[in-house]
Amino acid sequence: MMESCPAEKRIGIMGGSFDPVHIGHLIIAQDAVERLNLSEVIFIPAAIPPHKQHLQQVDAIHRLNMLRLAVESNRKFSVSDIEVRRGGISYTVDTLNALRASRQDEKLFLIIGSDTLVDLHTWYRTDLLLEMCEIATFVRLGEDSIERIAGKINLPTGQRRRLLQNVIEAHRIEVSSTEIRTRLSQEVGIRYLVPPTVEAYIEKHSLYKG
């Protein structure tokens, strides 16, 4: 009797500045686990995000620590410090290349939002990136229709068609890291916008004040 081959593990990758991580990030990750049948979602904070070099951020170690606190209760969520350890500008294609070296038998899904999808042509080595993973775009209720999004994707027809096959509806959560930083700088509370452990960490280290 022939032995059956083990099912291919499906791994989600969520990158970003996470400055700070908030409940919207966590809900999108959970949507991804359920909709894509993922074994794991790996959160990867950037050392220096290529498209946000001009924005002031708290130290990468703080962002990494907050992420670890945020995901510690979910066995399908994990955090990688691969970009923080590498330092410099964090190009996703370099990160995926490193991950694939140790995860050759796993299928990788890069989890992004519709705003990122329409900017994908500006990313470093987009062509190579699309060879390394599947792109899963999560669109919140009330955002542009797939037809409108398709018209904004500035990539060759074949790549655009493939990307549009993985556009998935997600929960609509109106919260952003920018809003949280603004509220903290104005000494306004952030309860329920971030996990309690993250709120306590921000308070303990006096982050985003002033």
- Tens-place pLDDT, residues 36-51: 999 999 999 999 887 6
Domain residues for the domain of 62 are: 9-204
Q: Is the pLDDT of residue 1 over 60?
A: no
Give whole-number Cα distances, 18 to 5, 23, 36, 126, 174, in Å. Answer: 37, 11, 22, 22, 16
- What is the pLDDT confidence band of residue 5, given thresholds at 50, 70 and 90? very low
**Residues 153-177, mean pLDDT to the nearest whole number:** 89
Average pLDDT, the chain: 90
| CB atoms near residue 64 (< 10 Å) | 22
Give the residues across from 207 on adjacent strands: none
**Residues 146-161, mean pLDDT to the nearest whole number:** 87
Q: What's the CA dihedral at 168, 172, 177, 180 to 10 degrees?
A: -170
In a domain, 3, yes or no: no
- Say how many domains are in the chain: 1
The pLDDT of residue 4 is 45
**Residues 51-67, mean pLDDT to the nearest whole number:** 82
CATH number where 69 lies: 3.40.50.620
User: Considering the entire predicted model, what is its pTM?
Assistant: 0.91
Distance in angstroms (rounded) separating the CA atoms of residues 133 and 15: 14
In a domain, 149, yes or no: yes
In a domain, 41, yes or no: yes
Please say whether the beta carbons of 120 and 110 come within 8 A: no
- What is the pLDDT confidence band of residue 2, given thresholds at 50, 70 and 90? very low
